[in-house]
């Protein structure tokens, strides 16, 4: 039987000028021939993609089809032809939100409130549809047109995933930048930057924060809360007075210093993007493999996700929170640990004893640090992490003590949630004894 080649895109759309370019894709303006409607076509060269990249492309298209909201760049069509895949999106012509702000003659706290409200509306819709964007950054916040008051549009769902359950709002960083023009966390060293974020080490320095209303700072604090269980959700943030009562709560004073700082911030990040693109081209040209820079970025994000859920698990243990612990464990989880005296234990009953009789009754402060984490990704839905765990605590005599153990954990993602299926711990027992 002869192979039938799909030519639907070629028959229905006409391509025009290039709007943007990536390692294995290009975005061009296109027009639907029958209606004359303009769109943006993301054209992916599928000949250069690995099997895993094809899965990611299918995931992106599937997720984008779910999302229909005025503050999200909408996918209108998805077409595969020989050697190429076409994703047909809204044509947004207003450029980046942050670039538009620095070109304005007037910009106030109230304007920032209106911007973040639209972003929150988009994120809330994502969460309601079981989607987490995972790549909220200035480059992905666009304006529908160059008209004054044009809608903010959330773009690029290449790293988005489908999940279940409630999601929190980690976009205090975006709001912080919108108010003063620079981020709350900053360090050229990526490891030190990660440690800052993990510790929630930010403040509101003078003089730039002296003119920001207390309500705006309160919302940022709620958005940047380290504990996900205590962090504000998008729905809750939309009800915050600084957003819901913007006209009477948010300041209308022009923030010229913010605009000036934002210009410098835009220049720095554009330079970093250009440097990254040069490195990307060099890697692409010199490599004979089918691995892509996009895949590398996705791998980095997934590894950080494994570190994050591991930290949440250990936090639940330190807090004696058995309910949170069980949500992160498979009911048939297996374990080798010192408390089991060399035996393999299965299920949660063995762990329940320690939660109910020791950890939950320990009122003394406990601080845990993960050192040298190494993550091995096992396909799309599993990962293994190995690390050294340092536990600092106060003994019954009021003296500070430190315990060390070597741990490895195997995570498996089911229905969008990571769960521990096996772990191994050697060294000191995790229980804090006399």
* Residues of the binding site for ATP: 42
* Tokens read off for 238: 């939309």
Closest CA to 395 of 368, 362, 428: 362
Give the chain as a 3 state SS string: CCCCCCCHHHHHEEEEEEEEECCCEEEEEEEECCCCCEEEEEEEEHHHCCHHHHHHHHHHHHHHHHCCCCCECCEEEEEEECCEEEEEECCCCCCEHHHHHHCCCCCEHHHHHHHHHHHHHHHHHHHHCCEECCCCCHHHEEECCCCCCCCEEECCCCCCEECCCCCCCCCHHHHHHHHHCCCCCCCCCHHHHHHHHHHCCCCCCCCCCCCCCHHHHHHHHHHCCCCCCCCCCHHHHHCCHHHHCHHHHCCCCECHHHHHHHHHHHHHHHHHHHHHHHHHHHHHHHCCCCCCHHHHHHHHHHHHHHHHHHHHHHHHHHCCCHHHHHHCEEEEEEEECHHHCCCEEECCHHHHHHHHHCHHHCCCCEEEEEEEEEEEEECCCEEEEEEEEEEEEECCCCCEEEEEEEEEEEEEEECCEEEEEEEEEEECCCCCCC
Closest CA to 166 of 108, 83, 236, 116: 236
Cβ neighbours, 10 Å, residue 229:
12
Give catalytic status of residue 135 as yes or no.
Answer: yes
State the burial class of residue 7 (Cβ atoms within 10 Å of its Cβ: 0-12, 13-18, 19+).
Answer: exposed
Task: Compute the chain's Rg from CA coordinates.
Answer: 25
Of 90, 135, 321, 330, the catalytic one is 135
Residues 6+ apart with CB under 8 A from 256: none
Binding site, by residue number, is: 42
Which residue numbers are catalytic? 135
């Amino acid at each position: 039987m002869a192979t039938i080649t799909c030519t639907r895109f070629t028959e229905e759309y006409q391509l025009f000028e290039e709007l943007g370019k990536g390692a294995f894709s290009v975005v061009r303006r296109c027009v639907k021939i029958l209606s004359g409607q303009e769109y943006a076509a993301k054209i992916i060269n599928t000949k250069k993609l690995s099997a895993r990249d094809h899965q990611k492309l299918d995931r992106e298209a599937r997720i984008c089809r779910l999302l229909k909201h005025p503050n999200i760049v909408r996918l209108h069509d998805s077409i595969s032809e020989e050697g190429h895949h076409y994703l047909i999106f809204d044509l947004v012509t207003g450029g980046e939100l942050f670039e538009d702000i620095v070109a304005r003659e007037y910009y106030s706290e109230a304007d920032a409130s209106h911007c973040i409200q639209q972003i929150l509306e988009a994120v809330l819709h994502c969460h309601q549809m079981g989607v987490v964007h995972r790549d909220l950054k200035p480059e992905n916040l666009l304006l529908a047109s160059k008209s004054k008051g044009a809608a903010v549009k959330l773009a690029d769902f290449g790293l988005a995933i489908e999940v279940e359950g409630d999601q929190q709002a980690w976009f205090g960083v975006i709001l912080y930048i919108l108010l003063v023009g620079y981020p709350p966390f900053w360090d050229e060293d990526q490891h030190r930057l990660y440690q800052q974020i993990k510790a929630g080490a930010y403040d509101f320095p003078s003089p730039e924060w002296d003119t920001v209303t207390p309500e705006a700072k309160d919302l940022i604090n709620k958005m940047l809360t380290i504990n996900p269980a205590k962090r504000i959700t998008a729905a809750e943030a939309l009800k915050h007075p600084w957003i819901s009562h913007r006209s009477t709560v948010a300041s209308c004073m022009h923030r010229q210093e913010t605009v000036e700082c934002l210009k410098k911030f835009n220049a720095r990040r554009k330079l970093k993007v250009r440097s990254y693109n040069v490195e990307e081209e060099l890697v692409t040209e010199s490599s004979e493999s089918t691995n892509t820079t996009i895949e590398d970025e996705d791998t980095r994000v997934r590894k950080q996700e494994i570190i994050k859920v591991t930290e949440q698990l250990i936090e639940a243990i330190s807090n004696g929170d058995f309910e949170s612990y069980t949500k992160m464990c498979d009911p048939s989880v297996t374990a080798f640990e010192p408390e089991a005296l060399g035996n393999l234990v299965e299920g949660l009953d063995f762990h329940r004893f320690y939660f109910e009789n020791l950890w939950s009754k320990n009122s003394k402060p406990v601080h845990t640090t993960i050192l040298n984490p190494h993550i091995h990704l096992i396909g799309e839905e599993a990962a293994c992490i190995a690390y050294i765990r340092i536990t600092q605590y106060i003994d019954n005599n009021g003296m500070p003590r430190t315990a060390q153990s070597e741990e490895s954990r195997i995570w498996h993602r089911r229905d969008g949630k990571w769960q521990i299926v096996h772990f191994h711990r050697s060294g000191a027992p995790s229980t804090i004894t006399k």
